[in-house]
Chains A and B, each alone.
Chain A
C-alpha cells in the first residue's frame, strides 16, 4: 500500500494493516497522529517532561510489540490512551514513592504543605504565564483518579464514553470524578477564581 493511501486510513484501519502485514509505515503514521496528544495528556498527569516522553515512547513500544492484542471492537485511541494512562499511573506512583519524604509536587494527596509563596498573591497572578503555571501546579495536587478524568475531559476534550472506556469505569463515575476534580482544583485556585 502506498504512503498516500495509508495516510487516508483511519486509526483502526492502520492498526489492522500493521497487524496483517506488519507494515512499519502504518505504525509510523499512528505514531505521528498520537505522539503529541499522548505527550500532552501524560505531561499534564505527571508534570515532568522527561518522564512523560519516556512513558509515551514506552506506550508505542507496547503497541508495536503487542499489536495483536488489540481488538477491533474498541477504538484505537481508547486502547492507546489506556496503555498510556496505565504507564503514567505506574510512573507517578514510582515517583511518589521515591519522593515520599521530600516536599515536592508528588506529595501526599490528602495533605499539602502550605509553603508561603508570594507568587500566589492576586496582584501578581495577573500575568497569564504566571496564571498558567499556577493552574499546572494546582492540577498536579488533585487526586490521581480525579486529575486523570479532568485532563481527559477538559484538556484532551474526549467524550464521557471514551473516558469511561479508557479508565475502565462507568460513565456516571466518570462524571462524578470530573466534577469532584474540578471542585478540588477550584479550591486550590481560589485566589484566582474568588470573584
Chain B
C-alpha cells in the first residue's frame, strides 16, 4: 500500500492541498429553522397511516373493478342458454287432425300395441275432457287389452285453464272422433286409432295375407 501511495504521491499531495470548503455563516440559523419546521410537522401515528385515504384508493379500485367484472360476466351468462330455464319446444309431431271419417279409424290389434313401449305411450297420450274440474276423470276403455293406456291416462293431469277450451280428445296424436260430451262408456277401443295408419282395403288385404304367411312359420319355430 505504501508503494501504491508512492506511485500516486503527487496526486495525493494535490488532493490534500485542495482548499477546505467551509459551511456558510448562517448555517446554524438555517439548521435550527429546518429542525423546528421538521418538529412542527407532526408525524402521523401508525394507525393514522394505516387508515389514511391514500391506502384505500388501490383497494377501492380493486373492489370496483371486481364488481364491474362480476356484473359483466353475470350479464353475459344470461345470454347463454340455461337448459333449465328453456321453454319446452312445441312438438311438431303432434298433429291435430279434424274430421277424420270413422271408417278410416282402424282398431289396433293387441300384438301391435305391445310393440309400443310404455314410455312412448306416456309421451304420446294426451286426453282432454272439457267437463273435468281439476284432474282428468278416468277414461275407462271398454276392453281388457287397454291396461297400458289406462296407466298412462291416470298419470295425466290437466290444468283448469286448459279445460275451459273445448278440445277433442287426442290419443297418440290423432283426434278421436267421439263427440266431446260423450260419456266414458261410449268410447270403445274400436273407435280409437292408435297407429295413425289409414290403410286402403287393398292394403289391408295384403297385410292380412302377409300375416297368414308369417303365422305358420312362427308356430313352427315355437314348437
Q: Which residues of A does B touch, CB under 8 Å?
A: 28, 31, 35-36, 38-40, 43-44, 49, 52-53, 56-58, 60-61, 64-65, 131-132, 135-136, 139, 150, 154-155, 157, 175, 179, 182-183, 185-186, 189, 193
Contacts and interface: CB of A to CB of B under 8 A. Distances in A.
18 contacts: A35-B22, A39-B21, A39-B22, A40-B20, A40-B21, A43-B21, A44-B21, A57-B27, A57-B31, A60-B31, A60-B35, A61-B38, A132-B19, A154-B12, A154-B15, A179-B4, A182-B4, A183-B8
Interface residues of B, number: 24
A160 B164 CA distance: 110
B18 A44 contact: yes
Interface in B64-117: none
Contacts of B30: 53, 57
A139 B12 CA distance: 12
A150 B22 contact: no
A139 B20 CA distance: 15
B15 A40 contact: no
B15 A150 contact: yes
Contacts of B23: 35-36, 38-39, 53, 56
A154 B14 CA distance: 9
Contact of B1 (A60, A135, A157, A175): A175
Given A35-B23, A185-B11, A193-B10, A154 B16 contact: yes
B211 to A, nearest CB: 104
Interface of B: 1, 4, 8, 10-12, 14-16, 18-24, 27-28, 30-31, 34-35, 38-39
Contacts, number: 76
A35 B38 contact: no
Contact of B27 (A35, A65, A131, A132): A35
A187 to B, nearest CB: 11
A155 B18 contact: yes
Contacts of B18: 44, 132, 135-136, 155
Given A39-B22, A57-B27, A189-B11, A65 B16 contact: no
User: A-B pairs with the 5 shortest C-beta distances?
Assistant: A154-B15, A35-B23, A43-B21, A39-B23, A182-B8
A38 B11 CA distance: 22
Nearest to A129: B19
A186 B8 contact: yes
Given A44-B18, A150-B15, A183-B8, 15 more contacts: A31-B31, A39-B22, A53-B23, A53-B30, A58-B34, A64-B35, A65-B35, A65-B38, A131-B14, A132-B14, A136-B18, A155-B18, A157-B16, A182-B4, A182-B12
Contact of A53 (B11, B14, B15, B24): B24
A64 B10 CA distance: 40
A52 B18 CA distance: 17
